[in-house]
Amino acid sequence: MSELSYFPGALNREDYAQKIAVLFSEHLEKNGLRLTTPRRKILNYLLKADRHLNQEEIYKSLRPQGIGRATVFRTIKMLEDSNLLSRISGISGPPKFEVHFERPHHDHLVCISCGSIQEIQWPKIEKIQEKACRKIGFEVKWHRHEIFGFCPQCAKRQKRT
């Protein structure tokens, strides 16, 4: 994730992290909730992670600091509600998460052999999709587009054997 470019001329990573934190606290406040220490820690951990994380990984890393599993789940849910975190369901196993940095929307290429997840941007597809849905009166809120197959490395290995 880190090596991916953000919007041209846009905020740098730290500024984004800052912005996300603000957006989260605003969302919480709006709903009569509080930005507490555990919640802040979970968000920070997600923000500085350079990859997709699952609940277990977050929990294990933050457990030494006394954070419980339920809080991880609850915070993830709040972040999703506030539209700052997106969920990626792989081929199997628990879903992974990534913070919505403000960069172009991207979809995922999931390798069914090694499990790696690569990101891909498809502005063209987004447009077609949006247009077609508007035509039939369907109001798009978000979408999930996951391509399953073999990543370049695994595709090669597949052919060798």
Sites of contact with DNA (CB under 7 A): 28, 32-34, 36-39, 54-56, 66-71, 73-75, 77, 93-95
Q: CB–CB of 88/117 below 8 Å?
A: yes
**Considering the complex, what minimum distance in angstroms separates the CB of residue 9 from a second copy?**
26
If the CB atoms of residues 30 and 159 are measured against a second copy, the closer one turns out to be 159
**Considering the complex, what minimum distance in angstroms separates the CB of residue 118 from DNA?**
22
Q: Kindly state the DSSP code that residue 74 receives in the 8-state scheme.
A: H
**Considering the complex, what minimum distance in angstroms separates the CB of residue 57 from a second copy?**
22
Backbone φ, ψ for residue 109 (5° rounding): -105, 110
Q: Residue 31 corresponds to which tokens in the numbers above? A: 């709903």
115 makes contact, choosing from a second copy, DNA, none, with CB < 5 to 8 Å by partner type, with: none
Across the beta sheet with 85-88, what order do the strands follow? 53-54, 96-99, 85-88
